[in-house]
Structure formats: structure tokens, C-alpha cells
Amino acid sequence: MKYCQGTKCHTYDTSDRKRGVKGSKTNQTRKRTKFDYGHGDFCTLQCQDDWFRTHGTNAVNHFGRVTSPIILTEDNAWQRTWNRVYWEDTTQPQWVEVNTITKATRPIEGGQ
Ligand SMILES: [Zn+2]
């Protein structure tokens, strides 16, 4: 079990967040075995967004702010793309790699 990492998770008023007995009730951060957002760390997109509003700038500064453009060149521009030819001829590969810069097409390394 793990807790949602949302910085305001406990402030959303839902019955599954309520704990305690009448007179001493609290709302608590959600705890589950698995969450569906933010690589499994957040219970909702709202909680993920709350975390980013609180920590996003510090996180970017900590892990390295982009200070110059990241450049797409022919060497790293290959992207897996659905093969249009496959529509008419199913003996052709269903997926190919297309170079975003040159528009060249090549088979996917290692097949499908
Ligand atoms: Zn949450």
C-alpha cells in the first residue's frame, strides 16, 4: 500500500478519505496498492496537478532546466509509425519507422 502523493489529496471531501469516529473525524490522504495517474503515484489527475503546482518548479530546477533548445536531427528523428501501405497489402509490415526530418522510411529494427 502506498499513499497518493497529491499535496491536497486530504482536502477533497469524499467518503473514502474519511477516518475516525463521530466527533473526531478526519479526512486523510488516499492509500491504495495502485494509483492510475502520474506513474502510479497519484489517485487523480487533480492530485497530480496539485503536486506539480507545489513542487514543479523546484523539480525542474533540481533535475535540470532546459536552457537551450533540444534539437531533433536526422540521427534521432526515427519514429515508429503505422504503415499506410499495409492498408492495401497486409503482407507488408504493419509498422515502419519514418524519419521526421527526411521523411525517409525504414523497417523497424528487430521486426514488428
Ligand atoms: Zn490523491
For position 11, what pLDDT does the model report?
97
CB atoms within 10 A of CB 64: 7
Query: In this predicted model, what pLDDT tens digit does every residue of 49-85 receive, in sequence order?
Result: 999 999 999 999 999 999 999 999 999 999 999 999 9
Place of cell 482536502: 11
Contact 100, 75 (CB under 8 A): no
**Ligand 1 ion: Cβ-proximal residues, 5 Å cutoff:** 4, 6, 9, 30, 43, 47
The residue length of the chain stands at 112
The Å distance, Cα 43 to ligand 1 centre, comes to 4
Which of 50, 58, 4, 51 shows the shortest CA–CA distance to 27?
4
Q: How far apart are CA 25 and CA 5, in angstroms?
A: 22
CB 3 within 8 A of CB 38: no
- At residue 90, the 3 state secondary structure works out as coil
Distance from Cα 42 to the centre of ligand 1, integer Å: 5
What's the pLDDT band for 109 if we cut at 50, 70, 90?
Answer: confident
> What is the Å distance from ligand 1's center to 21 Cα?
22
